[in-house]
Amino acid sequence: MHAGPAIRPDTARLDVEVFKLPAHDWVPNNRILPVVLYRQALPVGAQRDADELTAAFEALFDEHQWPPRWRDSIFDYHHFHSTAHEVIAVVSGEADVIVGGPRGRVVHLRAGDAILLPAGTGHCRQSASGRFSVVGAYPAGQQWDIRRDALTREECAAMQALPFPPLDPVLGDSGPLIDYWLRAA
């Protein structure tokens, strides 16, 4: 379905950053699972255009049981997903994204980067340039919602009980999801 060029992660150049975020105001973030930032998850070169990078990320995510669901940008308002974990890959341009809710951590994302957001993690595009475009994917069997308000105690418990995906969206059976998420269980 998402057959694309065989662009694979270059693990020698891949830089991974992992960080946890505390709950903030109405944004729960995730008290157990860290955010994972993959710098240059897929190599970007002058010969690669956004369509090729989009197809490559979609094929990679699909192969690792994170079916791609949409192509667009990141909303310019604070929100989170309580019913699904999310991975977002940048296929063109660059942006500053606030992660963790209002007054959260600002991360700069550019083409080739991906960010793995555990359920409950707030995110909002603060600024963008260069025709900023992304691909979003979720673990097989999880359907996302868009939340802009606090969760009830029951909703928070359901979010914390979401199953962990079996594979890292970028590296498959190795990588930060395996190292940090599955071991947190």
Q: Does residue 7 sit within a domain?
A: no
Per residue in 53-90, pLDDT (tens digit) is 999 999 999 999 999 999 999 999 999 999 999 999 99
How far is CA 57 from each of CA 15, 24, 65, 70, rounded to the nearest angstrom? 17, 31, 12, 12
The contacts of residue 184 (CB under 8 Å, 6+ apart) are: 32, 33
1 pLDDT tier (thresholds 50, 70, 90): very low
Residue 2: pLDDT over 60: no
As for how many domains the chain has, the answer is 1
In a domain, 1, yes or no: no
- Report if residue 60 sits inside a domain: yes
Q: Is the pTM of this model over 0.75?
A: yes
Give the residue numbers spanning the domain of 75: 15-184
Mind listing the pLDDT tens digit for each residue in 19-50?
A: 999 999 999 999 889 999 999 999 887 557 88
Per-residue confidence (pLDDT) for residue 110, from 0 to 100: 96
Residue 8 lies in a domain: no
**pLDDT grade for 12, boundaries at 50, 70 and 90:** low
pLDDT band (50, 70, 90) for residue 5 = very low
The alpha carbon torsion through 80, 100, 175, 65 (nearest 10 deg) reads 10
* Inside any domain, residue 4: no
Q: Any idea what the CATH number is for the domain that residue 82 is in?
A: 2.60.120.10
Instruction: Calculate the average pLDDT of the chain.
Output: 91
| Rounded distance between C-alpha atoms, residue 96 and residue 106, angstroms | 6
* 120 inside domain: yes
Burial 102-128 (b: 16+ CB within 10 A, else e): eebeebebbbbbbbbbbbbbbbbbeeb
